[in-house]
């Protein structure tokens, strides 16, 4: 009985436990179902949010595309208020113009535009890999932040324009034609001209990196007009190239090299002016220098020193085959051309250079190639007796050629020789003039004073065959007309000659005449004198 009761109690307990477990299981199942339902609800909500975001993103992209591609025919990309971000490694290609009207464009990758980039708001490059490449014009009317990227202009005849100046980090010019500025432009790091002409027109281009290699080129150059120029900052004692030239009128490449004498920060500017200095009021005839004679009429340079005051060596390059051979440099100051001092010849780039050293005077900007005034000296004054000859020995020192011309006179043997025989019959001033290949004319004079007797005859001679005083004739050599006759004391004519170079040798019919005194008659006129003179005298023959 007791066992039965115990077993009944155990059975009831087991039943109670089972019922409790069943109830707990139902409760847990209900909780699980509730959690599952909540999870499904959350999942559905998440999917709904995700779909909504996707829809909004698609809507935004669609909106942006609508803003950027309002005119699909023209293939122009417009940004009228959105933010456009090209991430690192990303590429945006626009088959036409890109016009950033009121939006913000930020580029960490590459934006390639087969047309112009027109910025009216805010456009920037971010990082080292940022690149804007365009075949049309760069027009900046807003804010451009270059970052450390590249702007590559590789179309034809492109403009750097707009109402706001652009400061590029790296500017690369390629393609063809001429790249033209209609506003000042700045390059912070590197400028690569390649083979392109960059025409700054009346504006300036500033290369702000003082590294000597901040400028790269093959055959490219910078041209400017009026007050425009190409500027470079410097901080080394090195040759900084200013590749200036012009394609207007006669195309020329005439660079300048400036070598600062210190490592202090300086800034220099250069413009090549491809026309006559006279055209801009720099009168080539106004020269106040004993060393300058002619100023180059074909071209000259504007040089500026806008930062710093330290001295520099400056080299102007020219082509001798086209420009002639210049020897000096002139600087326009105070209404006249002055010499910059000694010039030193060099060569580079297939051109010849003239350098002037330790220069600090940039108050006036015009510098031109010049020719050195030639040195011409007619010689020292002389004194001779009438009937004597003399020689004029003029000296000329000049690098530019030219032929001398003496004042025309019958007294000179050669009118176009520096050294010539002179036979004046009266005191005469002889002038010599020389015009070199540059048209520079110099002149000098020498005076020959003529004194004494009209005719110079020896009083005796010794015809003994020793070749010293062997014949009797005048010492004069400038006869026009001449007749000499010699007689013995009985009046017999022993010698007769019309040639002043033929004298009497003391013989008659091959027979030697005795020592004694002989009489002679001389009829003569000197060259250029225009009158006939008669002279009679005696001469002693000594054996």
Q: Which residues of the chain have pLDDT under 70?
A: 1-74, 399-400, 452-453, 528-529
- Counted domains in the chain: 3
> Is residue 286 domain-resident?
yes
* Residue ranges of E strands in 154-214: 159-161, 166-173, 178-181, 185-192, 197-201, 204-207
Same-domain status, 138 and 284: yes
* Residue 525 phi, psi (nearest 5): -145, 145
Q: Note whether 143 and 269 are same-domain residues.
A: yes
Q: Are the CB atoms for 294 and 278 separated by under 8 Å? A: no
- For residues 366 and 386, state if they share a domain: no
Residues 6+ away with beta carbon under 8 Å from 413: 420, 421, 422, 423
Question: Beta strands of 237-291 (E only): which ranges?
Answer: 240-242, 245-246, 252-253, 256-260, 266-273
Q: How far apart are the first and last CA of the chain?
A: 206
Q: What is the CA radius of gyration of the chain?
A: 51
Which domain range does residue 354 map to?
Answer: 64-372
Instruction: Find the length of the chain.
Output: 543
Would you state the pLDDT for residue 348?
A: 96
In this structure, is residue 43 part of a structural domain? no
pLDDT score recorded for residue 41: 64
Which of 410, 429, 451 terminates a domain? The answer is 451
Sign of CA dihedral 176, 177, 182, 187: positive
Cα–Cα distance between 489 and 486 in angstroms, integer? 10
Does 441 share its domain with 493? no
Asked if residue 45 is part of any domain, the answer here is no
Q: Does the residue 47 lie in any domain?
A: no
Phi and psi, residue 55, nearest 5°:
-65, -40
Q: Quote the tokens at residue 81.
A: 């208020």
- Rounded to whole angstroms, the Cα distance separating 273 from 226 reads 8
Q: What is the pLDDT of residue 29?
A: 62
Nearest of 499, 479, 476 to residue 386 by alpha carbon: 476
412 and 363 in a common domain: no
Nearest to 84 by CA among 96, 101, 70: 101
Q: Are residues 206 and 238 in the same domain?
A: yes
Structural domain includes residue 164: yes
Per-residue pLDDT at 64: 38
Query: Across the strands, what pairs with 512?
Result: 507
CATH of residue 491's domain is 2.60.40
Dihedral sign (CA 405, 411, 412, 415):
positive
Based on the fold, state whether residues 444 and 478 are members of the same structural domain. no
Does 467 fall in a domain? yes
Same domain, 303 and 321: yes
Among 372, 407, 426, the domain-final residue is 372
- Does residue 69 sit in the same domain as residue 160? yes
Domain at 392, CATH number: 2.60.40.10
358 in the same domain as 326: yes
In whole angstroms, give the CA distance from residue 239 to residue 234. Answer: 10
> Domain check: are 273 and 157 in the same one?
yes
- Domain presence at residue 15: no
**Final residue belonging to a domain, choices 433, 451, 469:** 451
Kindly report the backbone phi and psi dihedral angles of residue 41, in degrees, each rounded to the nearest multiple of 5, phi listed first.
-65, -45
Look at residue 6 and tell me if it is in a domain: no
Summarize pLDDT for 251-277 with one digit per residue, the tens: 999 999 999 999 999 999 999 999 999
User: What's CA 407's distance to the chain center, in Å?
Assistant: 42
Residues 359 and 427 reside in one and the same domain: no
What's the token pair of residue 31?
A: 């909780």
- For the question of whether the overall pTM of this predicted structure is more than 0.95, the answer is no
């Amino acid at each position: 009985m007791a066992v039965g009761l115990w077993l009944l109690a155990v059975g009831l307990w087991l039943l109670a436990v089972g019922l409790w477990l069943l109830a707990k299981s139902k409760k847990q199942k209900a909780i699980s179902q509730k959690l599952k339902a909540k999870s499904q609800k959350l999942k559905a909500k998440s999917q709904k949010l995700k779909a909504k975001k996707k829809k909004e993103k698609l809507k935004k992209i669609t909106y942006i595309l609508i803003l950027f591609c309002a005119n699909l025919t023209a293939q122009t990309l417009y940004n009228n208020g959105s933010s456009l971000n090209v991430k690192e490694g990303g590429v945006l290609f626009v088959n036409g113009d890109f016009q950033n009207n009121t939006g913000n464009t930020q580029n960490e990758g590459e934006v390639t535009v087969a047309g112009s980039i027109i910025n009216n708001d805010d456009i920037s490059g971010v990082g080292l890999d940022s690149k804007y490449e365009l075949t049309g014009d760069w027009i900046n009317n807003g804010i451009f932040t270059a970052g450390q990227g590249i702007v590559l202009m590789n179309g034809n005849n492109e403009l750097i324009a707009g109402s706001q100046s652009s400061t590029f980090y790296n500017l690369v010019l390629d393609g063809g034609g001429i790249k033209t500025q209609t506003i000042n432009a700045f390059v912070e790091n590197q400028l690569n001209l390649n083979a392109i002409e960059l025409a700054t027109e009346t504006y300036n281009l500033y290369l702000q990196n003082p590294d000597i290699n901040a400028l790269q080129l093959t055959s490219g150059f910078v041209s400017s007009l009026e007050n425009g120029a190409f500027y470079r900052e410097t901080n080394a004692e090195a040759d900084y190239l200013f590749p200036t030239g012009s394609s207007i009128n006669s195309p020329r490449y005439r660079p300048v090299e400036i070598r600062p004498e210190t490592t202090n920060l300086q800034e220099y500017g250069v413009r090549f002016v491809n026309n006559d200095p006279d055209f801009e009021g720099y009168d080539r005839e106004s020269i106040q220098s004993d060393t300058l004679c002619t100023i180059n009429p074909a071209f000259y340079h504007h040089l500026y020193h806008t930062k710093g005051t330290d001295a520099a060596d400056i080299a102007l390059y020219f082509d001798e085959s086209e420009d002639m051979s210049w020897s000096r440099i002139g600087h326009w100051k105070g209404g006249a051309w002055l010499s910059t001092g000694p010039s030193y010849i060099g060569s580079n780039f297939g051109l010849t250079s003239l350098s002037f050293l330790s220069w600090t005077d940039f108050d006036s900007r015009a510098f031109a190639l010049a020719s050195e005034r030639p040195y011409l000296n007619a010689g020292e004054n002389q004194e001779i007796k009438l009937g004597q000859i003399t020689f004029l020995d003029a000296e000329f020192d000049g690098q530019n050629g030219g032929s001398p011309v003496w004042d025309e006179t019958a007294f000179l043997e050669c009118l176009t020789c520096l050294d010539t025989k002179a036979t004046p019959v009266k005191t005469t001033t002889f002038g010599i003039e020389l015009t070199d290949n540059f048209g520079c004319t110099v002149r000098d004079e020498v005076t020959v004073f003529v004194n004494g007797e009209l005719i110079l005859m020896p009083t005796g001679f010794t015809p003994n065959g020793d070749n010293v005083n062997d014949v009797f004739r005048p010492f004069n050599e400038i006869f026009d007309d001449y007749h000499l006759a010699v007689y013995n004391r009985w009046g017999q004519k022993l010698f007769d000659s019309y040639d002043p170079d033929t004298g009497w040798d003391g013989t008659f019919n091959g027979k030697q005449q005795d020592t004694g005194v002989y009489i002679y008659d001389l009829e003569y006129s000197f060259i250029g004198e225009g009158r006939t003179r008669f002279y009679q005298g005696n001469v002693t023959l000594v054996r």
